Amino acid sequence: MDMNKAVFLDRDGVITQDPPHYAHRIDQLTLIEGSGSAIKMLNNENFKVIIITNQSGVAKGFYDENDIEIFNQAMIVQLKQVNAHIDAIYYCPHHPEAKMQKYRIDCNCRKPKPGMLIEGGKKYNVDFKSSFLVGDKWSDIEAGRAVGCKTILVKTGHGLHEYENKRCPVDYVAADLFDAVQNFIL
């Protein structure tokens, strides 16, 4: 069976605006300019587009997993309006210091650990060496590096601040997702 190439995307700060306090309500959903077009370009080039997002707000008791599903579905609807398609969404609701006991675990899915990428990679038969990870935090970059993806730090979301505090090597630094896709991935 042929291997697929994929682009793993963080959600908040890469595709959607990252509000000051944990994006989880539909009224907080704003796509970053050009992100829908960038995803459509990836779709047209037969990349699997897989979102991997830490959602520690669940563990901290700010919202529940149902809120994540509602937010993600609303995002998918907005992306469909520009003919952009997401193949899968993985999220980690855990945090080692969670208020809620059932989420207080040191899991393998919370970035910088690569569990979500590994899970998506298995499901979609992904060749990590020909794939990319785009994130706005060093924890995203570290997760991508752990599986052998090429990594891109965007300066949207937390990216500009993170860039100033460089923690690890990154293959490309982009203004935003559109820049990443147009000038590095494609």
Catalytic site residues? 10, 12
Q: Are 156 and 13 in contact (CB under 8 A)?
A: yes
How many CA atoms are closer than 13 Å to the CA of 162, on its beta-carbon side?
24
Q: Are 18 and 160 in contact (CB under 8 A)?
A: no
- End-to-end alpha-carbon separation of the chain, Å? 24
User: Would you put residue 174 in left (φ > 0), alpha (ψ -120 to 50) or beta?
Assistant: beta
Q: Are 115 and 78 in contact (CB under 8 A)?
A: no
- How many angstroms separate the most distant Cα atoms in the chain? 44
Q: Is 173 helix (H, G, I), strand (E, B) or coil?
A: strand
